[in-house]
């Protein structure tokens, strides 16, 4: 990383740092913006009883290609219906069982980045030392702390439709002006405690034409310059349909995921990736309603730095 790039990241991180905002012992970051009143507001958005899942299936056909060592889930069975039908299960009176297991990277599909996932100069969210995250798990900022916290008003910003393209091109850096312009075109306002979903169209395009270099490759995404908007808007979380949310290649010379370095350990912002926003985008385009109740709790895996998730948009 060049000295000028490091100075720039350090300056922005310091300016936008929320450490101590919710107390010295906080492990939730911007999820603190979600109040009971916010949840009630979100519940009032349910008009049709329609539930739309935003998760990719967790199977061998996922996007992973070995980058960062990540592979798609490996699903195995220890008991099956064929065993039961063949009389190979030693249980009485004809009862049988299926039982299975899965081995997977917690961030191989639709997932949340926990607040212990990214470090900035040896520190994670709220100023805690990165060495509190060991091979035994995260002593602080573990994903399990969020198990009952991710319920709020969701807003879809369909940037691809706003730009009138099937999918934004890899390397397209989404600006603050595009985010706010899209919201205005959709007739929605972004408020404190909202969870913002940004559709670039890349995931949908790759599902049609092949994953290619989707995982860890070049992608459209948020510009580093959106960091101030992300902090100023006081949103609770942001997610997109790309593997890393921010634009790739990264804009700053010799950097790696500089927006992550600001968002997660400094702002304390919850980040979601590989969200399948295609069905939701089609539904929103049809009824012109881009806000909804959003529910997406992580698996409460003690000490985990991320979690697979099956997000639900409820309209």
Report percent pLDDT > 70 for the chain.
99
* Residue 236 burial (10 A CB sphere; 0-12, 13-18, 19+): buried
Query: What fold characterizes domain 3-67+105-314?
Result: Glucose Oxidase; domain 1 (3.50.30)
- Per-residue pLDDT of 63-91, as tens digits, reads 999 999 999 999 999 999 999 999 999 99
- The pLDDT of 29-50, averaged and rounded, is 98
In this prediction, residues 309-315 reach a mean pLDDT of 98
Which of these, 280, 262, 271, 277, lies nearest to 237 by C-alpha position? 271
Which tokens sit at 234?
Answer: 């006081």
SS (H, E, C) the chain: CCHHHHHHHHHHHHHHCCCCCCCCCCCCHHHHHCCHHHHHHHHCCCCCCCEEECCCCCCCCCCCCCHHHCCCCEEEEEECHHHHHCCCCCCHHHCCCCEEEEECCCCCCCEEECCCCCCECCECHHHCEHHHEECCEECCCCHHHHCCCCEEEEEEEEHHHHCCCCCCCCCCEECHHHHHHHHHHHCCCCCCCCEEEEECCHHHHHHHHCCCCCCCCCECEECHHHHHHHHHCCCCEEEECCCCCECECCCCCCCCCHHHHHHHHHHCCEEEECCCCHHHHHHHHHHCCCEEEEECCCCCCCCCCEEECCCEEEC
pLDDT tens by residue, 269-283: 999 999 999 999 999
At 165-191, the pLDDT tens digits run 999 999 999 999 999 999 999 999 999
Predicted confidence (pLDDT) at residue 106 exceeds the cutoff of 90: yes
* pLDDT score, position 213: 93
Q: Is the pLDDT of residue 37 over 90?
A: yes
Question: Is residue 1 pLDDT above 70, yes or no?
Answer: no
- What pLDDT does residue 305 have? 98
- pTM for the model stands at 0.96
What are the residue ranges of CATH 3.50.30.50 in the chain?
Answer: 3-67+105-314
């Amino acid at each position: 990383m060049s000295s000028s790039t490091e100075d720039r990241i350090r300056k922005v991180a310091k300016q936008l740092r929320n450490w101590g905002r919710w107390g010295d012992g906080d492990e939730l970051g911007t999820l603190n913006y979600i109040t009971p009143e916010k949840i009630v507001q979100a519940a009032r958005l349910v008009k049709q009883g329609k539930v739309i899942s935003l998760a990719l299936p967790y199977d061998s056909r996922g996007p992973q290609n070995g980058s960062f060592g990540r592979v798609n889930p490996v699903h195995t069975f220890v008991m099956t219906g064929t065993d039961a039908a063949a009389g190979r299960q030693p249980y009485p009176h004809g009862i049988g069982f299926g039982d299975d297991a899965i081995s997977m990277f917690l961030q191989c599909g639709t997932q949340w980045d926990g607040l212990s996932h990214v470090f900035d100069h040896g520190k994670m969210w709220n100023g805690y030392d990165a060495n509190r995250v060991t091979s035994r798990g995260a002593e602080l900022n573990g994903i399990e702390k969020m198990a009952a916290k991710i319920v709020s008003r969701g807003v879809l910003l369909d940037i691809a439709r706003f730009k009138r393209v099937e999918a934004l091109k890899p390397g397209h850096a989404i600006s603050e002006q595009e985010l706010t312009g899209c919201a205005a075109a959709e007739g929605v306002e972004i408020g404190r405690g909202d969870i913002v979903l940004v559709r670039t169209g890349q995931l949908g395009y790759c599902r049609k034409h092949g994953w290619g270099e989707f995982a860890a490759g070049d992608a459209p995404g948020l510009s580093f310059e959106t960091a101030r908007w992300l902090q100023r808007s006081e949103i609770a979380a942001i997610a997109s349909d790309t593997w890393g949310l921010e634009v790739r290649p990264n804009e700053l010379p010799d950097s790696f995921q500089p927006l992550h370095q600001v968002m997660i350990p400094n702002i304390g912002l919850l980040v979601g990736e590989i969200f399948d926003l295609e069905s939701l985008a089609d539904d929103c385009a049809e009824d012109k309603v881009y806000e909804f109740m959003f529910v997406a709790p992580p698996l409460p895996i003690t000490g985990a730095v991320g979690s697979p998730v099956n997000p639900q948009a409820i309209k």
